[in-house]
A and B are shown apart, each in its own frame.
Chain A
């Protein structure tokens, strides 16, 4: 591994951190612009001006915004995300379990969706413009075009109600055996897979088709390689960068975009937590969840960038 590559990676990481800081400012500012404040929210509409003033003093709400921002940021950096107003619980503790659940669901959805999408993409290229390609593209597009709640309810109707293979409600709890846990998430994971499959598969297909025009693909064909070997060995390695990018975007979606699916299956993940607390106007929770989602998004994109850099032989092996 040579120095230009390390430099590029370091740049990406530094940029990511900077971006995350900027987003933390935005999140903080956004919640400040909303009318009313935490004291008002806690005490409700019937609060007297005196009690409001007291509570504001107590919570430090009279400090200038930047002081409160740095106070909040300092807390975040030391793992203290604050206290939820609605329940009075420590946010970090409540999020931990839910984040773990969301990651667990996203992980298993990704384990199925990513290889499946890439393999389907490769097959679609191999039989491009034939009926196999059209069938794959058609099914994938159809599954993406249906709203996720529709897919979710379809799955529930068939697999939970009619055939009773999987539970309709994905209840998970601490210390649940792995097998049962997997059974519980089977339906939401399937719904998520169907939602993200088409995007990745279409991108894989397009990226590889783009490379298939290259002279080196012709060279490989003229060596007598089979069509599939040409795609796998010569086209795929050169199409990897755009594919990784779209895979990472979809992984990010699996983590931050699962709100609807979690609600349908009553799955105790981050999405549900966020929705619950948005309705309660619980600002500290919204801030914390927003920041975590941003961090997930940015880190996955950094990974995509770094993977694309590492996949480029010109950067890996300079002249």
Chain B
């Protein structure tokens, strides 16, 4: 099969890959855009190449091109993809089908969505193996069970009988890795396999993937936007931006001695200097012994939680998904009336239910959400969106309102030109800025930020954090900052509450909470945050005192 172009030991050789797509802007003629501009890469057998970049950098598109797959009408229009010595782009549809699931397998970002809810796990895991006829069903299932064991899944003998909804997200991600390994491919494309997981679960999955790659000698393309994660598993790293190659080198070189400015920006992201403020004399908002539950009191999600927020300061609430962080916000805003306990504001208790609170109380507490695009009415302009709280709370109209909208746009570092734009015409970071401006328009004392940077690329998220800190200085607004990302917490918090299964397990000023000795959970949380250092993963796994809840 090998032709003269093949280099010995090289599994995948992509040459001058060009990928295009046709976009249909409303009211305009369809136009062609180039997603990937003549990118080349080579991958040796058994090696791992990390593809890193922000969203839109073309990393997934390049990864999928190794399977001849284009998502949603994306077309490969130039270059060669040489896999095992032949150009797969010349093989046609039949050729693609023969290599997919056989030579190259894929691990998706969200295994929870990538498994078919209607079939048992085992049927899905062995499907590709049986389809390509590389093993009998009995052999394939034996292989799958061995892989479940290797990926340290609980009950490896019987987990295959379960349906996807009966297994946790972290476990599903490992089952998906087993699914990819089951047909013994030469190459696996990992597409952000740990991004959707909690940091404490991510570390388990990451280490399972790393061990599996090492033991099976499979080669991998590891796609992520998190440099610290990719540094743990890759031999080499390729940095991409806007569909072009920025830098390609050994892992150590990329993270220690980046040669390009953009790589350097990625490496040093999150380094925001924030001087912790001492708590003032009296908090303006106190949550006292709040207990809250869903399902008519059956599922307790907050247990006896007490925290204080001081004027102009930031309280960060950290914990993994299901720890009750967002529920705390819902209890404070009155969306979920607490069963017990009180929320006091300016020395007086707030009504439990949102409907019982006067307009003035509503104005004082504003929220910003993770998904900026669904938090805005897509049919309203930026001006209308920001102007609405001005009309609603202050009765501003006409020129007065427009002037204030312009001021607010200025504050979020967006020009006047955005007033007439619709949300769909904004980037992710700009959308979040508009949401910030909308909450500021009410002149609140407290803004609750629920994972506001989680859906954003690191550099954009960094910009948002800096903006929030600046605004805090000017407007003296306090933040309740909900996040699962400890690096963010370090950049922005004055005090921290660590939550675990509905309880606050550690609470105090930032320096106090982040200084040892730690309780077991805080230790797990802190030690699970990937660090940009080769060998960090092994060290972290070794030093752990408790298993993560995702297992």
Residue A218 CB within 8 A of the other chain: yes
Q: How far is the CA of A220 from the CA of B100 in the complex (A)?
A: 10
Residue A313 CB within 8 A of the other chain: yes
Stretch at the interface among A4-12, A18-26, A85-93, A223-231: A223-231
| A313-B163, A313-B165 as given contacts; A222 in contact with B116, CB under 8 Å | no
By the criterion CB–CB under 8 Å, are A222 and B117 in contact? Answer: no
Interface residues of B in 88-138 (CB under 8 A from A): 96-102, 105-106, 108, 110, 113-119, 124, 127-128, 131-132
Q: How far is the CA of A224 from the CA of B131 in the complex (A)?
A: 8
Residue B477 CB within 8 A of the other chain: no
Shortest A170–chain B CB gap in Å is 42
User: A210-253 CB contact bits vs B (8 Å, 1 = yes)?
Assistant: 00001110111111111000000010011000000000000000
Q: How far is the CA of A313 from the CA of B117 in the complex (A)?
A: 7
> For A237, what are the chain B residues with a Cβ–Cβ distance below 8 Å?
116, 118-119
| A237-B119, A314-B117, A314-B165 as given contacts; A223 in contact with B110, CB under 8 Å | no
Shortest B120–chain A CB gap in Å is 9
> For B115, what are the chain A residues with a Cβ–Cβ distance below 8 Å?
216, 219
| A215-B113, A215-B114 as given contacts; A222 in contact with B100, CB under 8 Å | yes
Which residue of A is nearest B118, CB measured? A237
By the criterion CB–CB under 8 Å, are A238 and B108 in contact? Answer: no
Residue B542 CB within 8 A of the other chain: no
Shortest A311–chain B CB gap in Å is 8
Shortest A17–chain B CB gap in Å is 28
Q: Which of B67, B102, B127, B162 has the most A CB atoms < 10 Å from its CB?
A: B127
Residue B166 CB within 8 A of the other chain: yes
Residue B539 CB within 8 A of the other chain: no
Q: How far is the CA of A224 from the CA of B183 in the complex (A)?
A: 12
By the criterion CB–CB under 8 Å, are A224 and B101 in contact? Answer: yes
Q: How far is the CA of A238 from the CA of B115 in the complex (A)?
A: 12
> For B128, what are the chain A residues with a Cβ–Cβ distance below 8 Å?
223-224
| A221-B100, A224-B131 as given contacts; A317 in contact with B166, CB under 8 Å | yes
| A218-B71, A219-B106, A313-B163 as given contacts; A224 in contact with B114, CB under 8 Å | no
How many A residues are at the interface, by size bracket?
A: 10 to 19
Residue A319 CB within 8 A of the other chain: yes
> For A216, what are the chain B residues with a Cβ–Cβ distance below 8 Å?
113-117
Interface residues of B in 60-110 (CB under 8 A from A): 67, 69, 71, 96-102, 105-106, 108, 110
Which residue of A is nearest B189, CB measured? A222
Q: How far is the CA of A319 from the CA of B102 in the complex (A)?
A: 32
Shortest B140–chain A CB gap in Å is 13
Q: How far is the CA of A294 from the CA of B131 in the complex (A)?
A: 48
Q: Which of B67, B131, B132 has the most A CB atoms < 10 Å from its CB?
A: B131
Interface residues of B in 421-472 (CB under 8 A from A): none
By the criterion CB–CB under 8 Å, are B98 and A224 in contact? Answer: yes
Q: Which of A222, A225, A234 contacts B69 (CB 8 A)?
A: A222
User: B142-178 CB contact bits vs A (8 Å, 1 = yes)?
Assistant: 0000000000000000000011011000000000000
Shortest A313–chain B CB gap in Å is 5
Q: Which of B108, B117, B119, B166 contacts A218 (CB 8 A)?
A: B108
Q: How far is the CA of A313 from the CA of B128 in the complex (A)?
A: 22
Q: How far is the CA of A219 from the CA of B179 in the complex (A)?
A: 11
Q: Which of A218, A224, A237 has the most B CB atoms < 10 Å from its CB?
A: A224
Q: Which of A215, A224, A313 contacts B97 (CB 8 A)?
A: A224
User: A188-225 CB contact bits vs B (8 Å, 1 = yes)?
Assistant: 00000000000000000000000000111011111111
By the criterion CB–CB under 8 Å, are B114 and A238 in contact? Answer: no
Shortest B221–chain A CB gap in Å is 13
Q: How far is the CA of A221 from the CA of B93 in the complex (A)?
A: 11
Q: How far is the CA of A225 from the CA of B98 in the complex (A)?
A: 9
By the criterion CB–CB under 8 Å, are A215 and B118 in contact? Answer: no
User: B224-250 CB contact bits vs A (8 Å, 1 = yes)?
Assistant: 000000000000000000000000000
> For A218, what are the chain B residues with a Cβ–Cβ distance below 8 Å?
71, 108, 114
Q: Which of A221, A238, A317 contacts B163 (CB 8 A)?
A: A317
By the criterion CB–CB under 8 Å, are B118 and A238 in contact? Answer: yes
> For A219, what are the chain B residues with a Cβ–Cβ distance below 8 Å?
106, 108, 114-116, 124
Shortest A317–chain B CB gap in Å is 5
By the criterion CB–CB under 8 Å, are B108 and A215 in contact? Answer: yes
By the criterion CB–CB under 8 Å, are B67 and A222 in contact? Answer: yes
Interface residues of B in 468-491 (CB under 8 A from A): none
By the criterion CB–CB under 8 Å, are B131 and A238 in contact? Answer: no
Shortest B527–chain A CB gap in Å is 30
> For A226, what are the chain B residues with a Cβ–Cβ distance below 8 Å?
97
Interface residues of A in 269-285 (CB under 8 A from B): none
Q: How far is the CA of A218 from the CA of B114 in the complex (A)?
A: 8
Q: How far is the CA of A225 from the CA of B123 in the complex (A)?
A: 14
Q: How far is the CA of A20 from the CA of B98 in the complex (A)?
A: 56
Q: How far is the CA of A174 from the CA of B477 in the complex (A)?
A: 86
Shortest A239–chain B CB gap in Å is 10
Q: How far is the CA of A220 from the CA of B179 in the complex (A)?
A: 12
Which residue of A is nearest B123, CB measured? A233
By the criterion CB–CB under 8 Å, are A222 and B101 in contact? Answer: yes
Shortest A178–chain B CB gap in Å is 39
By the criterion CB–CB under 8 Å, are A223 and B100 in contact? Answer: yes
By the criterion CB–CB under 8 Å, are A223 and B71 in contact? Answer: no
By the criterion CB–CB under 8 Å, are A223 and B127 in contact? Answer: yes
Q: How far is the CA of A219 from the CA of B101 in the complex (A)?
A: 9
What 20 new A-B contacts, CB under 8 Å, besides A222-B69, A225-B127? A215-B114, A216-B113, A216-B117, A218-B71, A219-B108, A219-B114, A219-B115, A221-B69, A222-B67, A222-B100, A223-B105, A224-B97, A225-B131, A234-B119, A238-B116, A313-B165, A314-B117, A314-B163, A314-B165, A319-B165
